[in-house]
Structure 1
Amino acid sequence: MAVPKRKMSRASTRARRAQWKATPPTLVKTIESGKVVYSLPHRARVVEDSTGTPLYMEYKGRKVADV
């Protein structure tokens, strides 16, 4: 395990941490049955019936798992 040779100052620590920035997820816009739906790319989505009950999960139009 790496161990620092010297103590890192507060200013240096905070300057290093300030460089990290969160990025918003990229969403894919699709139209399903007349509604615009935004989803994450390369993720399985839950298919629901008309009452909102989850039926199964699909990816690229194929059924991949039961819910």
Structure 2
Amino acid sequence: MAVPKRKQSRSNTRSRRSQWKAEVPTLVKTVENGRVTYSLPHRAKVVTDSQGTELYLEYKGRKVADA
């Protein structure tokens, strides 16, 4: 395991941590049966019935897993 040779100052620690930034996810807009839905690209989406019950996960039009 890597162990530092000497203590790192507060300013160095905080400036290093300040470089991490959250990114806004890119959403894809799709229209299905008159409803506009937003989803993340390259991710499986949940298919629901008319009452909102989750049925299964779908990716590229194929069923990939049970919900």
**TM-score by shorter chain over 0.5:** yes
Give the corresponding residue for 2:8. Answer: 8
Runs of 4+ in 1 over 2 A off after TM superposition: none
Equivalences for residues 1-67 of structure 1 within 5 A: 1-67=1-67
Structure 1 gap segments, 5+ residues each: none
Structure 2 gap segments, 5+ residues each: none
SS at match of 2:14: helix
Distance 2:65 2:18 in 1: 41
Distance 2:14 2:36 in 1: 42
Q: Give aligned pairs, total.
A: 67
SS at match of 2:12: helix
Counterpart AA for 2:45: R
Displacement of 1:66 after TM fit?
Answer: 2.0
Distance 1:26 1:47 in 2: 20
TM-score normalized with structure 1 length: 0.89
CA RMSD of superposed structures (Å)? 1.0
